[in-house]
Amino acid sequence: MITRGNEVRASLFLDTRRVKKDGRFPVKLYIWDGSAQVGKPYSTGMDCSETEFLDTWEKARPRKEFKELRNKLDRILRKANQSIDEMETFSFESFNRLITIPKGERQNVFWHYEEIVQNLKIAGRIGTADSYRYAQNALMKYAKTKRLLFKLITPKWLQGFEDFMIDSGRSMTTVGMYLRTLRYVLNKAIEEGEVKREQYPFGKRKYVIPEGRNTKKALSQEQLKTLFECVPSTPQQEKARAFFFFSYISNGMNMKDIAKLKSDQMDSDRFHFTRAKTARTKKGKQKQITVFLTAIQPKVIATYGNSSSDAIYVFPIISESQSPEEQHRKIKNFTRSVNQHLKKLCRANGLPEISTYWARHSFATRAVNSGASMDFMQESLGHGDVKSTYNYFAGFDDEAGKELAKKLMNFD
């Protein structure tokens, strides 16, 4: 039995109320919701005699002949607890949708996509759910079916999908993003015992997912100066620039994290936040990022922040009462608006047509060019490893190179 917050418990039991013709009994999964004081049994599709269940499940180390059965029961319980853990608020309705697998669907790739998308939506991870949905749609278009069996996913099939995507005008980066979702689906199916390890089509001498070209999206020091000092032609352009530099000076903070910044995270000279991107994917390893305030952040907050001192969020982009789907839509619309007006402002001033994403790359590049170490930048950007940090660095500028050349010949 596994407990989640002493509220929801999952366990397996032998239902001895009804004996079957072969003398066995149904093995049931039982879910107990302590907060509602309600329990519900679920069929596992498996049967055992009382002796088999005792030797398989009740003993810490079952004999060899019972190990396969024990593994199947372990997978059922693990899957139940994974579904429970992924729900912010438990409900039997949501659990029923996650745990019930229609007959014959265990080998259907797209059924697993549907399960993952529903899990993500229940957990409030709407952006990630959308990513899986886009990948699923692309795979369906290539496969020309809504029921794709795992056994058909071979290295040759994957190469065919890559060629199909490139011929359709999609980038290698997009191909890689979509196939990483498929790799996750396969790994999950293998872990749950629904696909054999030898069927795995990814890896050396099989199919290697393309990395895609990492385009460096950083403004130079001179370009940043031009953007900072230029005169916007509309209030919307001025607002777009304000949020770009709020992001830039706040360790490259993205728009979602800015939208979710709460008043209780603010101190007199700094604020702290955890990236929404890693808040769920790195449990136990979440990095809290500290941002020290300059003259820019308070000015942007005073101009565009919530007027009420009782407001939960610093900026009026989302509200606490909105659903995760509604918050996702609001943040997406806000980011799109900022990017649209930012591009117009840049176009009018001879700058590249940038997006808010450039703020993060620009912060990383300018900081390193100003002497910040990669270890410091890793902490500032909230990365789990320094390799990710290098991906945000667009290289040293000419002035840094000239300064280094001077220092090399300075022997004083």
The mean pLDDT value for 172-190 works out to: 93
The pLDDT confidence band at residue 403, using thresholds 50, 70 and 90, is: low
Q: How far apart are CA 132 and CA 177, in angstroms?
A: 9
Contact 343, 351 (CB under 8 A): no
Q: How far apart are CA 353 and CA 344, in angstroms?
A: 8
For 2, 91, 141, the CA distances from 6, given in Å and listed in that order, are 9, 15, 44
- Sorted by sequence, the CB contacts under 8 Å of residue 341 that are 6+ apart come out as 234, 236, 237, 239, 240
Q: Which helix (H) or strand (E) segment is 60 a member of? A: none
Asked whether residue 332 carries a pLDDT value surpassing 90, the answer given is yes
Q: How far apart are CA 394 and CA 256, in angstroms?
A: 23
Across the chain, what does the average pLDDT equal? 83
Domain 101-213: top CATH class: mainly alpha
The pLDDT confidence band at residue 392, using thresholds 50, 70 and 90, is: very low
The mean pLDDT value for 137-163 works out to: 95
What share of the chain has pLDDT > 70, as a percent? Answer: 82
Asked whether residue 390 carries a pLDDT value surpassing 90, the answer given is no
pTM, two decimals, is: 0.62
- Render pLDDT for 339-370 as a digit per residue (tens, 0 to 9): 999 999 999 999 999 999 898 888 888 877 76
Selected residue with higher pLDDT from 267 and 214: 267
From the CB of residue 67, how many other CB atoms can be counted at a distance below 10 Å?
12
From the CB of residue 77, how many other CB atoms can be counted at a distance below 10 Å?
17
Residue-level pLDDT at 307: 85
Instruction: Rank 49-53, 60-64, 137-141, 273-277 by mean pLDDT and report only the highest.
Output: 137-141
Selected residue with higher pLDDT from 98 and 329: 329
Q: How far is C-alpha 286 from the chain's CA centre?
A: 13
DSSP-assigned letter for residue 261:
-
Contact 385, 243 (CB under 8 A): no
Residue-level pLDDT at 396: 45
Closest CA to 108 of 194, 32, 47, 180: 194
Amino acid (1-letter code) at residue 78: R
The pLDDT confidence band at residue 25, using thresholds 50, 70 and 90, is: very high
Give, to the nearest 10 degrees, the angle between helix 109-122 and helix 126-143: 170
Contact 354, 340 (CB under 8 A): no
Domain regions of the chain by residue span? 1-89, 101-213, 221-404
Residue-level pLDDT at 120: 86
Asked whether residue 397 carries a pLDDT value surpassing 70, the answer given is no
Least confident among 82-91, 152-161, 218-227: 82-91
Which residues, listed in sequence order, are joined to residue 40 by a DSSP beta bridge? 31
- Render pLDDT for 53-88 as a digit per residue (tens, 0 to 9): 988 888 878 888 888 888 888 888 888 888 888 776
The pLDDT confidence band at residue 134, using thresholds 50, 70 and 90, is: very high
Q: Which helix (H) or strand (E) segment is 349 a member of? A: none
Q: How far apart are the first and last CA of the chain?
A: 71
The encoded tokens of residue 389 equal 């940090």
Least confident among 8-17, 288-297, 361-370: 361-370
Least confident among 40-49, 55-64, 332-341: 55-64
Looking at domain 221-404, its CATH architecture is: Orthogonal Bundle (1.10)
Asked whether residue 137 carries a pLDDT value surpassing 50, the answer given is yes
The pLDDT confidence band at residue 186, using thresholds 50, 70 and 90, is: very high
In terms of Cβ atoms closer than 10 Å to its own Cβ (0-12, 13-18, 19+), residue 144 is: exposed
Residue-level pLDDT at 375: 62
- β-pairing, 38-48 vs 270-274, is unpaired
- Render pLDDT for 376-386 as a digit per residue (tens, 0 to 9): 566 656 555 55
